[in-house]
Homo-oligomer: A and B are copies of this chain.
Amino acid sequence: MNQPATPASARIADIPAYMQDLGRRARAASRLLARADSAAKNRTLTAIAAALRAGSAALLAANAKDVAAARAAGRDAAFVDRLTLSPKTIESMASGVEQVASLPDPVGEISEVRERPNGMKVGRMRVPLGVIGIIYESRPNVTADAAALCMKSGNACILRGGSESVHSNQAIARCVHRGLAEAGLPEDAVQVVETPDRSAVGELLRMNKYVDIIVPRGGKSLIERIMAESRIPMIKHLDGVCHVYIDDRADPELAVKIADNAKTQRYGTCNAMETLLVHEAVAPKLLPRIAAELAAKGVELRGDDAARGLVASMKPATEDDWYAEYLAPILAVRVVHDMDEAMDHIAKYGSQHSEAIITTDTARADRFLREVDSSSVMVNASTRLADGFEYGLGAEIGISTDKLHARGPVGLEGLTSQKYVVFGSGQVRE
């Protein structure tokens, strides 16, 4: 596994056999990792951070190969930017790993213990899931980040980064393995797929014997491809078509501030607002103000007839706009008759990611919170705050819009399961 002289891809002839072997080793290591105590896991994370810092020169050299190849292949600036490591990003990787070490260890925690009439005590113990497969694009920092989160939650992992980052990922993997070895945990606990061959992904998605859950991290096309192929459950979201609904009982200053932040604080994120719904009673007063604010930042507005009647510069929205995740300075705007119409719109066009209501009416806020079926439902706050760090999870492996298992931002807890534990004193079934 260490220091391959030639690119691994040249040495791996039989991809299915190679992946099965990776899976088998990850599964075996997962049993040992599940038993590791917090001290051993934290020692490992600290050692990984040190290895990343110490290996900085080697990391940059490996990364330079990937960057040169990506440039030669004509990849765009944004792609190359995400791929490129610098002393600063390496330091931020290392400190990120240390931060995971400082988080509380969810594994082994026993909760909800109740004594039954027969005297036995029944509780639930938090345990690792087992083996986690992570599939991501050519962003080498994810390698360290994902390995740290899986390790802290007691899981083995199989990491498959974008094929253009293969040298960087292998260099990071060497630091991770050094950390594991130093702390006495099995190197097999973190498997980095060494081939850029795409068929390795297909193989990974079918290894349900060895992989308990897949976490895809990347754009919609990556996730769609994985969803179509995977036979293993996933923690994922496909779209973030997030809504802000401004109620007629909204505080106007607060409404303007949140609408602005939800759209413009960062355009390319899954929790950015894509459609603004405004109650017809306050639209004449608020919509022109919000439109002016957004227009000044270069946001293009696309509205329904009522919205365009209030803001002349607005383009007409088509049916497609209501479904759109722009990830760009574009916003769809609709004037609604009441909160029910807003909730119907969200139910029809939304992606169950994050939605906010701006209102001072607690009864309406309660109804919105209860009835909107999204992974995060917010009152008087920006959808941009739907995030693992902002929620206090300390870390985030992704956001799930599915209802089973973890929902919303997923931190360490979402990488664990709970089993029942029973403390008896001779109880039998009568």
| Interface residue ranges, A against B (CB under 8 Å) | 31, 34-35, 108, 114, 116, 118, 120, 122, 125, 127, 129-130, 212-213, 233, 251, 254, 257-258, 261-262, 265-266, 347, 356, 369-371, 373-382, 384-387, 390-392, 403-405, 407-409, 417-429
Contacts and interface: CB of A to CB of B under 8 A. Distances in A.
Contact of A407 (B258, B403, B417): B417
| Majority SS at the chain A contact face | mixed
Given A31-B371, A408-B419, 9 more contacts: A120-B381, A122-B392, A125-B370, A129-B403, A376-B420, A377-B422, A385-B424, A403-B417, A409-B420
Contacts of A420: 375-377, 386, 391, 407-409
A181 to B, nearest CB: 23
Contact of A426 (B129, B213, B251, B423): B251
Contact of A120 (B347, B385, B418): B385
Contacts of A373: 31, 34, 127, 130, 419
A118 B233 CA distance: 35
- With most chain B CB atoms within 10 A of its CB, the pick from A418, A428, A429 is A429
A116 B371 contact: no
B34 A427 contact: no
A418 B373 CA distance: 10
Contact of A212 (B120, B403, B428): B403
B382 A427 contact: yes
A283 to B, nearest CB: 20
